[in-house]
């Protein structure tokens, strides 16, 4: 989706890049300033309506698109705050909900055209790969192994260099965050489920209730959480009292959290051994879960690797990571074709002009 750009003139190039994120239910824009040595966030705005999703038990695409249409122009205007120069505009083009992606991509193209800025269609997953680094003001280091764990994705990606991405494992069914959401709903907790289960699990103890760890110990690199979900459903059918507020529900939540954390850590262990990487990066909303973070730290330490996670606020979907990839593209002299379209299933492996 990118093509070669023009050569830069003499002297250090400083780029101000706007990123737009509308892949799901977050309506977000961010502005960064960057050169070859560093990147810093100048401003960002985000809007979401979790009360609607909570009331309806999840994301409703029609309401999400309406939110983007209503809020995105004002959010962008608030981030730009005036007529300061803008060298590059990037918008998430996939993966994600197609109607939601179209809103951000169309507005991004229009703004880039009006401002005479370069335009960049950005892979949302590439933004997550960037986030542990750029949230600390620096560009990605290579090689490393990247775990992306969110409501929509659970991927383990080998990142050998600036131009290569290789899938080590993906999810066969539910993503880790989706599993948290569905299991929370089974016991009457709210949306999003990850934070709800984490809060409830503080009063419980893993192991008091037994649930499986799908794929743990397997030599295949993929993730799977459907077995965990089905086992929990069958358990609750036999013992519906577990879903009521109290100690049993807390034990259930602690066991769910432990099972998901152990599955993620086990797949990362396999990935570190297969690739030989000494740096594991973790991004996506699930990376904010403390039990998950501890499990990943422990497995990385046993494998002689370090772990790098995003600075707080960069874990979940955000426009700052999209702006960062946009700035990197502009610095490298590449930009997207004006005919670029959304791709709801855009694989991070197929993004051939990465930085």
Are the CB atoms for 329 and 90 separated by under 8 Å? yes
pLDDT tens digits, 97-132: 999 999 999 999 999 999 999 999 999 999 999 999
pLDDT tens profile 291-312 = 999 999 999 999 999 999 999 8
CA 135 vs. chain centroid, Å, equals: 13
User: Beta strand 154-161 with 164-170: parallel, antiparallel or unpaired?
Assistant: antiparallel
What would the pLDDT profile of 185-227 be if each residue is shown by its tens digit?
A: 999 999 889 999 999 999 999 999 999 999 999 999 999 999 9
3-class SS at 96?
coil
pTM of the predicted model, to two decimals?
0.92
Number of neighbouring beta carbons within 10 Å of residue 12: 8
Domains in the chain, please, with CATH? Answer: 2-135+316-350 (3.30.420.40), 144-308 (3.30.420.40)
Tokens of 140: 């990605």
Element spanning 158, H or E: strand 154-161
9 pLDDT higher than 90: no
The dihedral built from the CA positions of residue 275, 280, 283 and 289, taken in this order, carries a sign that is positive
pLDDT the model gives residue 268: 98
pLDDT at 143 > cutoff 90: yes
Q: What is the mean pLDDT of the chain?
A: 92
Q: Of the candidates 44, 16, 61, which has an alpha carbon nearest to the alpha carbon of residue 319?
A: 44
C-alpha of 105 from chain center? 18
Residue 49: pLDDT band (50, 70, 90) is low
Least confident of 9-13, 42-46, 157-161, 330-334: 9-13
pLDDT digits (tens, 9 = 90+) for 226-263: 999 999 999 999 999 999 999 999 999 999 999 999 99
The more confident residue out of 182 and 10 is: 182
Confidence label for 48 from pLDDT (cuts 50, 70 and 90): confident
Q: Which residues of 17-54 are buried (b: 16+ CB within 10 A; e: fewer)?
A: bbbbbbbbbbbbbbbbbbeeeebebbebbbbbbeeebe
Average pLDDT over residues 329-348: 96
Chain center to CA of 255:
24
- pLDDT category at 134 given cuts 50, 70, 90 is very high
271 vs 314: CA distance, rounded Å = 24
Contacts of 183 (CB under 8 A, 6+ apart): 193, 197, 228, 229, 232, 256
| Ramachandran bin of 252, using left for φ above 0, alpha for ψ from -120 to 50, beta for the remaining angles | alpha
pLDDT value for 101? 97
Question: CB–CB of 162/354 below 8 Å?
Answer: yes
Q: What is the model's pLDDT at position 51? A: 54
pLDDT value at residue 58: 59
Q: How far is residue 214's CA from residue 256's CA, in Å, rounded to a whole number? A: 12
Check pLDDT > 60 for residue 336: yes
Q: What is the pLDDT of residue 85?
A: 85
| Whether residue 354 has pLDDT greater than 80 | no
Q: Is the dihedral of CA 180, 185, 188, 190 positive or negative?
A: positive
Tell me the per-residue pLDDT of 54-102, one tens digit each, with 9 for 90 and over: 555 556 778 889 999 999 999 999 999 766 789 999 999 999 999 999 9
Burial class (CB in 10 A: 0-12, 13-18, 19+), 242: buried
Tokens representing 72 are: 């995105």
pLDDT average, residue stretch 165-169 = 97
Let me know the angle formed at the C-alpha of 181 by 175 and 187, rounded to the nearest 5 degrees. Answer: 140
- Residue 262: its H or E element: helix 247-275
């Amino acid at each position: 989706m990118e093509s070669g750009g023009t050569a830069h003139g003499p002297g250090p190039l400083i780029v101000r890049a706007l990123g737009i994120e509308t892949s799901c239910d977050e309506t977000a824009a961010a502005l960064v300033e960057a050169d070859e040595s560093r990147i810093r966030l100048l401003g960002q705005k985000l809007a979401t309506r979790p009360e609607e999703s909570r009331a309806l038990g999840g994301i409703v695409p029609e309401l999400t698109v309406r939110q983007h249409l209503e809020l995105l122009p004002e959010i962008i205007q608030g981030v730009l705050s005036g007529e300061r120069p803008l060298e590059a505009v990037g918008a998430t083009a996939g993966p994600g909900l197609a109607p939601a992606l179209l809103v951000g991509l169309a507005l991004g193209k229009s703004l880039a055209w009006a401002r005479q800025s370069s335009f960049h269609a950005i892979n949302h997953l590439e933004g997550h790969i960037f986030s542990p680094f750029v949230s600390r003001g620096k560009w990605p280091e290579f090689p490393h192994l990247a775990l992306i764990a969110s409501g929509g994705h659970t991927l383990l990606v080998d990142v050998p260099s600036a131009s290569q991405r290789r899938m080590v494992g993906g999810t066969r069914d539910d993503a880790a965050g989706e599993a948290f959401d569905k299991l929370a709903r089974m016991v009457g907790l709210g949306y999003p489920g990850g934070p709800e289960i984490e809060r409830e699990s503080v009063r419980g103890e893993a192991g008091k209730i037994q649930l499986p760890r799908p794929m743990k110990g397997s030599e295949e690199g993929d993730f799977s959480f459907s077995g965990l979900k089905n086992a929990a459903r069958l358990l609750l059918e036999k013992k519906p009292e577990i879903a009521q507020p109290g100690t049993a529900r807390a034990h259930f939540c602690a066991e769910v959290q432990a099972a998901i954390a152990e599955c993620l850590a086990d797949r990362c262990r396999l990935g570190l051994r297969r690739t030989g990487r000494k740096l594991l990066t973790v991004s996506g909303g699930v990376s904010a879960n403390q039990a998950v973070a501890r499990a990943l730290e422990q497995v990385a330490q046993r494998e002689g690797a370090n772990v790098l996670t995003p600075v707080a606020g960069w874990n979940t979907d955000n426009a700052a990571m999209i702006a960062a990839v946009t700035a990197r593209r502009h610095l490298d002299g590449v930009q997207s074709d004006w005919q670029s379209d959304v791709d709801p299933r855009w694989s991070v492996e197929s993004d051939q002009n990465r930085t």
